[in-house]
Amino acid sequence: MIAMKFTALVTLAAVVQTFLLSARVGAARGKLGIEAPATSGKPEFDKAFRIHMNTVEQLVLFIPMLWLAARVIGDVWAPAVGAIWIVGRVVYASGYRNDIAKRGPGMLMTVFSTAVLAAITVWGIRQSFMA
């Protein structure tokens, strides 16, 4: 039985989302004839690659903050903030794919949700030292 089921569910969703973005990079390689190890080529591939890589870069920050914040505020509120991260990644990817200049709102959602989780974690750590 998983004790932090909602946190685990959001983590799984974030990992699946990242995997699907990886699959888009692979599909773009095949469709556009961009051989590995190339990491640039045609704009369609470059967009898919950057969307995926930016998500990986953000995921590394998000996952630990999600789990640490869940230990502080519980298995409902932290995953609720984490769900904003996932939506932010969808908005980011859609904006980036359609018009690179429109990636900002999704990036703000991503950074904001990670920052909130980090603030909760810092608060929790501070409280534990004061107890």
Mean pLDDT by 10 residues, the chain (131 residues): 94 98 97 94 96 98 98 98 98 97 97 98 96 79
Q: How many domains would you assign to the chain? A: 1
Q: What angle do CA 66, 109, 87 make, to 5 degrees?
A: 75
**Among 65, 60, 89, 74, which Cα is nearest to 6's?**
74
Please tell me the pTM assigned to this model. Answer: 0.94
Angle at 27 between CA 21 and CA 31, to 5 degrees: 145
CATH of the domain at 19: 1.20.120.550
Structural domain span for residue 94:
5-130
Encode 38-60: b = buried (16+ Cβ within 10 Å), e = exposed. eeeeeeebbbbbbbbebbeebbe
